[in-house]
């Protein structure tokens, strides 16, 4: 406090000048219409500029929240779309069966049975420069995550859940030489096996497509639905180049991946509610061989 008084005493002429200057300016602005209008105009422009940039700073911080909310909304919409498609199919089937036999009706359970459910998660770790790349997401067993759940981003295939902890899970991505995915050319439904050769993180390879299949650059490659982890028709990528291997009956096809793994932040987890039943049936078939 003593130092403050010393500072005021030392510079009291400057402080007095500033106080008088402020009073003078306030009187000029208050009692002169022209100066008042100019001041208000200038202050409004400055205030508007300040608020605009101030709001912009907070909008940047709100982007994370907005992206999370959008991802959750997309997951809900995908589940609702499954519901709608199933209802449409079942309603058509019910109409057909009722016409043939009025005593046949569809049960409510069969009408409302949805195969795939979608939920969201955030990527907290990701690698693209290894030969066996993985992602880590911020949800685990407590949040309902299970192994073999498909992982997508904006309707495009990312990978598959392989290990689940209490609050975090590990996902094997397409950028992993050990993982293969059933994929097909959307235009003609010919399917093969999609894999990654460990080189370019933006490209993968579609194998086992016979040479007689019509194919062209720009063809869309999607999931076949043969895998119980992904519904049919999810985008994987676009054909960018293809050649016929020497002495081979199959094409070598390069795919431009739809997901940019360098910028992936939000993902959706695909849960197949019939996965347990499917696994049981498949295990029975395998035991019988």
All structural domains of the chain with their residue ranges:
2-62, 116-273
What is residue 29's predicted lDDT score, i.e. its pLDDT? 56
* Angle subtended at Cα 239 by Cα 233 and Cα 244, rounded to the nearest 5 degrees: 120
Cβ proximity of 259 and 174 under 8 Å: yes
pLDDT tier, 34 (very low <50, low <70, confident <90, very high otherwise) = low
Count the helix, strand and coil residues of the chain and give each as a percent rounded to the nearest 5: 40, 30, 30
CB proximity list for 271: less than 8 A, separation 6 or greater: 116, 117, 118, 119, 144, 146, 149
Average pLDDT over residues 99-109: 41
3-state secondary structure of 242: strand
Q: Which two tokens stand for residue 31?
A: 């009692």
- Residues 38 and 186: their CA atoms lie apart, in Å, by 65
What is residue 15's predicted lDDT score, i.e. its pLDDT? 72
Residue 27 has pLDDT above 70, yes or no: no
What is residue 170's predicted lDDT score, i.e. its pLDDT? 94
What is residue 138's predicted lDDT score, i.e. its pLDDT? 92
The DSSP code for 265 is -
pLDDT tier, 157 (very low <50, low <70, confident <90, very high otherwise) = very high
Residue 1 has pLDDT above 90, yes or no: no
Beta bridge partners of residue 137, listed in sequence order = 123, 169
| pLDDT tens-digit readout, 174-220 | 999 999 999 999 999 999 999 999 999 999 999 999 999 999 999 99
- Residues 83 and 89: their CA atoms lie apart, in Å, by 10
What is residue 119's predicted lDDT score, i.e. its pLDDT? 87
Choose among 89, 83, 133: nearest CA to 112. 83
β-pairing, 203-207 vs 169-176, is unpaired
- Look-up of token digits 């043939």: 100
Lowest mean pLDDT among 53-57, 139-143, 173-177, 234-238: 53-57
- Look-up of token digits 């793994």: 261
3-state secondary structure of 79: helix
Cβ proximity of 236 and 221 under 8 Å: yes
| pLDDT tens-digit readout, 80-92 | 555 555 555 445 5
pLDDT tier, 97 (very low <50, low <70, confident <90, very high otherwise) = very low
CB atoms closer than 10 angstroms to residue 239: 21
Residues in the chain: 289
What is residue 228's predicted lDDT score, i.e. its pLDDT? 83
- Residues 134 and 170: their CA atoms lie apart, in Å, by 7
Beta bridge partners of residue 121, listed in sequence order = 267
What is residue 275's predicted lDDT score, i.e. its pLDDT? 63
Residue 9 has pLDDT above 70, yes or no: yes
Q: CA quadruple 131, 135, 136, 142: dihedral positive or negative?
A: negative
pLDDT tier, 106 (very low <50, low <70, confident <90, very high otherwise) = very low
The DSSP code for 163 is E
Which CATH architecture fits 116-273? Answer: Beta Barrel (2.40)
* Angle subtended at Cα 214 by Cα 200 and Cα 175, rounded to the nearest 5 degrees: 20
pTM over 0.85: no
């Amino acid at each position: 406090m003593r130092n403050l008084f010393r500072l005021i005493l030392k510079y009291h002429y400057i402080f007095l000048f500033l106080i008088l200057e402020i009073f003078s300016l306030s009187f000029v602005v208050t009692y002169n219409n022209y100066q008042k209008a100019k001041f208000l105009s200038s202050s409004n422009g400055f205030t508007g500029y300040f608020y605009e940039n101030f709001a912009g700073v907070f909008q940047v911080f709100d982007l994370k929240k907005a992206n999370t909310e959008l991802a959750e909304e997309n997951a809900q919409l995908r589940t609702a779309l499954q519901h709608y498609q199933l209802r449409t199919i079942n309603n058509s089937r019910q109409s057909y069966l009722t016409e043939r036999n009025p005593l046949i009706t569809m049960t409510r359970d069969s009408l409302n049975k949805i195969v795939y459910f979608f939920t969201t998660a955030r990527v907290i770790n990701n690698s693209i420069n290894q030969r066996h790349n993985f992602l880590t997401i911020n949800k685990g067993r407590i949040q309902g995550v299970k192994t073999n759940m498909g992982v997508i981003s904006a309707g495009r295939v990312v990978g598959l859940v392989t290990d689940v902890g209490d609050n975090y899970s590990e996902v094997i991505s397409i950028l992993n030489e050990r993982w293969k995915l059933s994929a097909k050319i959307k235009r003609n439904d010919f399917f093969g096996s999609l894999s990654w050769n460990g080189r370019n993180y933006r490209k993968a390879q579609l194998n086992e497509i016979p040479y007689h299949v019509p194919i062209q650059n720009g063809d869309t490659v999607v999931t076949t639905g043969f895998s119980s982890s992904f519904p049919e028709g999810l985008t994987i990528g676009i054909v960018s180049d293809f050649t016929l291997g020497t002495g081979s009956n199959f094409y070598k096809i390069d795919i431009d991946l739809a997901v940019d793994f360098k910028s992936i932040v939000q993902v959706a987890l695909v849960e197949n509610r019939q996965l347990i039943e499917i696994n049981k049936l498949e295990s029975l078939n395998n035991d019988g061989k």
